[in-house]
């Protein structure tokens, strides 16, 4: 596969010549079990702070802290450059305990492979999970949630979207609790 006649290079399970199989394995936080109860969420675009994700990045769906679905977001492998994200439901087995139930709203995360970073992701529309549903959403945008008010006691300089958690100084001398 490396272009050398009789060479020893072989394609790995990810179809990478001379690869070690690591490029198609999901990030640790995005590992999930397959269920007989499934829905699919299609995103027209997936971005991190407004920039399109790279082909090596991943999108994951969660119910609380439990990953219920994930996909490597390589749009060149998807129909019309729109990928689907499988989201698994609780089918009554021990392997899917705590997974989605009808009417639950999944949350989403994006894994930026080049930065080795996870981002909370906000869909342009929240659609509840129902078995066998196909859901179309315009955009999923990865952000860093936190307090963006520079006057707040818990200001987070890395936050890109305010999460409503800001704690402003209190009292006559404008002090923060714990000061």
Q: What is residue 20's predicted lDDT score, i.e. its pLDDT?
A: 67
- Would the pLDDT of 171 be above 90? no
Phi-psi region of 91 (alpha: psi -120 to 50; beta: other; left: phi over 0): alpha
Q: Phi then psi for 56, rounded to 5 degrees?
A: -90, -5
Give the global pTM.
0.77
Per-residue pLDDT at 132: 98
What is the distance between the alpha carbons of residues 56 and 38, in angstroms, rounded to a whole number? 24
* Residue 1 reports pLDDT greater than 90: no
Higher pLDDT, residue 49 or 109:
109
Summarize the confidence of residues 42-53 as an average pLDDT.
93
* The pLDDT of residue 18 is above 80: no
- Percent of the chain past pLDDT 90, that is, above it, reads 68
Contact residues for 117 (Cβ-Cβ < 8 A; gap 6+): 111
pLDDT value, residue 178:
63
Cα gap 147→149, rounded to integer Å: 6
pLDDT score of 60 more than 80: yes
Least reliable range by pLDDT among 26-35, 74-83, 86-95, 122-131: 74-83
Paired tokens of 8: 């020893």
> If you average pLDDT over every residue of the chain, what do you get?
90
């Amino acid at each position: 596969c490396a272009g050398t006649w009789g060479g020893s290079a072989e394609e790995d399970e990810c179809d990478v010549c001379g690869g070690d199989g690591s490029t198609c394995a999901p990030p640790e936080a995005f590992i999930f079990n397959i269920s007989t109860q499934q829905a699919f969420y299609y995103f027209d675009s997936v971005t991190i702070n407004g920039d399109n994700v790279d082909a090596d990045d991943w999108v994951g769906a969660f119910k609380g802290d439990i990953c219920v679905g994930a996909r490597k977001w390589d749009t060149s492998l998807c129909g019309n450059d729109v990928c689907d994200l499988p989201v698994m439901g609780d089918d009554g087995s021990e392997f899917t305990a705590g997974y989605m139930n009808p009417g639950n709203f999944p949350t989403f995360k994006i894994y930026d492979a080049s930065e080795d970073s996870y981002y909370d992701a906000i869909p342009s529309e929240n659609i509840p999970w129902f078995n066998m549903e196909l859901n179309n959403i315009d955009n999923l945008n990865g952000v860093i949630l936190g307090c963006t008010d520079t006057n707040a006691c818990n200001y987070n300089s890395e936050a890109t979207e305010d999460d409503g958690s800001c704690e402003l100084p209190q009292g006559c001398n404008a002090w923060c609790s714990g000061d």
